[in-house]
Amino acid sequence: MSDKIEEIRERYAGYSLNSGNAGKANEDRGWLLAEVEQLRADNEQLRADNKRLREALKPFALEAKTYDPPEGDDGHPAWASRFTCGNLRDARNALEGKP
- Per DSSP, the residues of 35-82 read HHHHHHHHHHHHHHHHHHHHHHHHHHHHHHGGGPSP-S-TTS--TT--
Please, what's the largest Cα pairwise distance for the chain? Answer: 70
Mean pLDDT score, 60-74: 87
The pTM (predicted TM-score) of the whole model is 0.65
pLDDT for res 48: 93
Q: Residue 19's pLDDT band (boundaries 50, 70, 90)?
A: low
Could you list the residue range(s) of the whole structural domain that residue 47 is in? 2-96
Q: Residue 62's pLDDT band (boundaries 50, 70, 90)?
A: confident
Q: How many domains is the chain partitioned into structurally?
A: 1
Q: Report pLDDT digits (tens) over 69-94.
A: 889 988 888 888 888 889 889 999 88
